[in-house]
Amino acid sequence: MLTTAPFIGRVAGRVAWLSGLCWMVGAALLLSCQAPSYDTLPPLDDSAAHVPASDDSAMTTITGEITEVMESWPLQLVVMTQAGSYDIALEAETSVTRAGQAATANDLSPGQQVRITGVTSEPGQGLIAHTIDML
């Protein structure tokens, strides 16, 4: 009769040896890793990212016709003026009115005449709208 005890004993011994080897390799890798150092990062300077709301010199007003409404967020418009086409971006705080009454950005559609006051984002082409008056 054959016995499997010696075979099982050899397999168990090799499994234990491999388990110990894996543990030692894992421990060596763990100890060789260093935590990242965040002390060397430069200080964050986000002053250029903010446009002061009270700076009236950067405010621009245009009057024209909406030629395109892009249903994105934030909502974007293309407005044709006598000086050319403007890309308009609305913000969550953009005030929209019609005949002095409050309206919403959903009321804007191609063909409408509008007066838009905002801050230029690109020289002569882009405007971030603060107020939109439907005429």
To 10 degrees, the CA torsion angle through 101, 107, 112, 118? Answer: 70
Render pLDDT for 22-71 as a digit per residue (tens, 0 to 9): 556 555 555 555 555 545 545 555 444 444 444 444 788 999 999 999 98
Cα angle value 47/51/56 (rounded, 5°): 140
- Asked if the model's pLDDT at residue 96 lies above 80, the reply is yes
Taking 80 as the threshold, does the pLDDT of residue 98 lie above it?
yes
pLDDT band at 126 (very low <50, low <70, confident <90, very high): confident
Would you call 132 helix, strand, or coil by DSSP?
A: strand
pLDDT at residue 21 is higher than 70? no
Q: What are the residue ranges of helices labelled H in 1-135?
A: 5-32
Cα 1 from chain centre: 74
pLDDT for res 57:
47
